[in-house]
A = this chain, B = another copy of it.
Amino acid sequence: MTFKLTILGTSASLPAYGRHQSAQLLEIGKLTFLIDCGEGTQLQLTHYKIKAQKIDQIMISHLHGDHYLGLVGLLSSMNLLGRKKKLVLHGPNGLEEIITTQFRYSQTSLNYPISFQRLGTNQSNVIFENDTLSISSFPLNHRIPCCGFVWREKPKPKKINKDTLPVDLSLVNIVRLKKGEDIFDESGKLIYRNSSLTLPAKKSRSYAYCSDTKYDETIVQYIHKVDLLYHESTFLDDMTERATATFHSTASQAAQIGKLAKVNQLLLGHYSARYKDVSLFLNEAKQVLEATQLAQEGIEIALEE
């Protein structure tokens, strides 16, 4: 099953050097999520030949313009392109008012339903769950209410080992095996040990998105051991004071959070317009966490099962 992240924007508030404002596309199986939606996100989707209509849910982390100003245009374009499918829109208090105010003045009546889901920004909350996936929001530490998000696949069923499977095993017992249970007879006696009839389950993958935030170790609990962590790094380390004052992070602070959370891989982004060459971010972060890479427009990161 797919678990793929596509980077659409890596810029902090002021777009520079061809970098676009924050937006990412996350595809997990048949579900597609847009994470933040800076100005021009619909143009970026077109540029990378991604159909906006496949987006099921949009997560807006906070109401700084560089994280949501592309939203009204995208919602309008989805409508013009004939969307009928429901869209789930997670965002902080205010997002619904901002959108409905604009649609009121433009006399826009969408032909598809939007389900507005207001984010609680003071604690972690499960914001979506189905049989295979759970998504939680959690508080970041920014100038205004701001959420991070974490996608975690649920534990997957164990695979049946067809080489050792007895031909007469009932469907009920096969379901038990997939859950990792041993098989007992009616008297309670062990017939088959699970490990003898199954192979390990596929890996449950996870992704966490942290933008924007100052360095805050309370975040670590929410993103523990994720496979991939995106953490903002607006500044280089010589601007640590500025980072703290503006509620942003430096490259090595992002790496430190990743290290504390024992993540498998770190992805940096949200670069300030003062930096033309973002490779410096990579150098600094790698001093703390080797498994770091740079978000850049258009890159795709697929997590294997």
Contact = CB atoms under 8 A, between A and B. Distances in A.
A99 to B, nearest CB: 10
Contacts of A65: 72-73, 76, 102, 106, 108
A63 B214 CA distance: 36
A101 B65 CA distance: 12
A188 interface: no
B107 A97 contact: no
Contacts of A40: 39-40, 43
A105 B63 contact: yes
Nearest to A273: B80
A107 B143 contact: yes
A64 B102 CA distance: 9
A77 B98 CA distance: 19
A120 B69 CA distance: 27
A224 to B, nearest CB: 31
Contact of A14 (B21, B80, B101, B144): B80
A108 B105 CA distance: 22
Nearest to A21: B73
Interface string A19-56: 00100000000000000000110110010000000000
A13 interface: yes
Given A73-B39, A143-B107, A14 B81 contact: yes
Contacts of A95: 105
Nearest to A17: B46
A70 interface: yes
A14 to B, nearest CB: 5
Contacts of A105: 63, 92, 94-95, 97-98, 144
Nearest to A69: B73
A15 interface: yes
A98 B105 CA distance: 9
A15 B39 contact: no
A21 B72 CA distance: 14
A85 to B, nearest CB: 18
Interface string A66-87: 1001101100110011000000
Interface of A: 13-15, 21, 39-40, 42-43, 46, 63-66, 69-70, 72-73, 76-77, 80-81, 92, 94-95, 97-98, 101-102, 104-108, 143-144
